[in-house]
Amino acid sequence: MLNLKEEKTMTTREWGVRWTEFNKADQRVTKERFFNTEEKLDTFCNKLQEKANFNAFEEWLDREMF
Protein backbone atom coordinates (compact mmCIF):
# COMPACT_ATOMS: atom_id res chain seq x y z
CA MET A 1 0.00 0.00 0.00
CA LEU A 2 1.32 3.43 -0.93
CA ASN A 3 1.53 6.25 1.54
CA LEU A 4 0.26 9.73 0.67
CA LYS A 5 3.72 11.09 -0.12
CA GLU A 6 4.32 8.36 -2.73
CA GLU A 7 0.89 8.87 -4.27
CA LYS A 8 1.55 12.58 -4.80
CA THR A 9 4.85 11.96 -6.57
CA MET A 10 3.56 9.24 -8.89
CA THR A 11 2.84 10.19 -12.46
CA THR A 12 1.12 8.34 -15.22
CA ARG A 13 2.09 8.66 -18.82
CA GLU A 14 -0.11 8.63 -21.88
CA TRP A 15 0.77 8.29 -25.53
CA GLY A 16 -1.44 9.73 -28.22
CA VAL A 17 -1.87 10.52 -31.84
CA ARG A 18 -3.61 13.24 -33.81
CA TRP A 19 -4.74 12.37 -37.33
CA THR A 20 -6.99 13.56 -40.13
CA GLU A 21 -9.59 11.58 -41.99
CA PHE A 22 -12.50 12.28 -44.30
CA ASN A 23 -16.09 12.10 -43.03
CA LYS A 24 -19.15 11.00 -45.01
CA ALA A 25 -19.51 14.50 -46.50
CA ASP A 26 -15.90 14.19 -47.75
CA GLN A 27 -14.73 16.90 -45.34
CA ARG A 28 -11.37 16.59 -43.65
CA VAL A 29 -11.72 16.24 -39.87
CA THR A 30 -9.03 16.11 -37.18
CA LYS A 31 -9.22 13.57 -34.38
CA GLU A 32 -7.01 12.54 -31.48
CA ARG A 33 -6.83 9.67 -29.06
CA PHE A 34 -4.68 8.72 -26.06
CA PHE A 35 -3.57 5.33 -24.73
CA ASN A 36 -1.94 4.17 -21.52
CA THR A 37 0.71 2.06 -23.32
CA GLU A 38 2.79 2.51 -26.45
CA GLU A 39 1.79 -0.96 -27.60
CA LYS A 40 -1.90 -0.03 -27.65
CA LEU A 41 -1.05 3.13 -29.58
CA ASP A 42 0.91 1.14 -32.16
CA THR A 43 -1.91 -1.37 -32.62
CA PHE A 44 -4.47 1.40 -33.06
CA CYS A 45 -2.32 3.29 -35.58
CA ASN A 46 -1.72 0.17 -37.65
CA LYS A 47 -5.47 -0.43 -37.90
CA LEU A 48 -6.18 3.25 -38.52
CA GLN A 49 -3.90 3.37 -41.57
CA GLU A 50 -5.95 0.62 -43.20
CA LYS A 51 -9.21 2.61 -43.08
CA ALA A 52 -10.39 3.92 -46.45
CA ASN A 53 -11.14 7.39 -45.04
CA PHE A 54 -7.74 7.83 -43.32
CA ASN A 55 -5.76 10.84 -44.58
CA ALA A 56 -2.59 11.41 -42.53
CA PHE A 57 -1.00 11.38 -39.09
CA GLU A 58 -0.60 14.97 -37.93
CA GLU A 59 1.19 14.69 -34.58
CA TRP A 60 2.46 12.17 -32.05
CA LEU A 61 1.55 13.13 -28.48
CA ASP A 62 3.22 12.20 -25.20
CA ARG A 63 2.03 13.58 -21.89
CA GLU A 64 2.55 12.97 -18.21
CA MET A 65 -0.34 13.22 -15.78
CA PHE A 66 0.33 14.12 -12.14
Sign of CA dihedral 14, 37, 61, 19: negative
- What's 51's DSSP letter? S
Interval 12-37: pLDDT, tens: 899 999 999 999 999 999 999 999 99
* Whole-number percent of the chain with pLDDT over 90: 76
Of 35-39, 40-44, 61-65, which range is least confident?
61-65
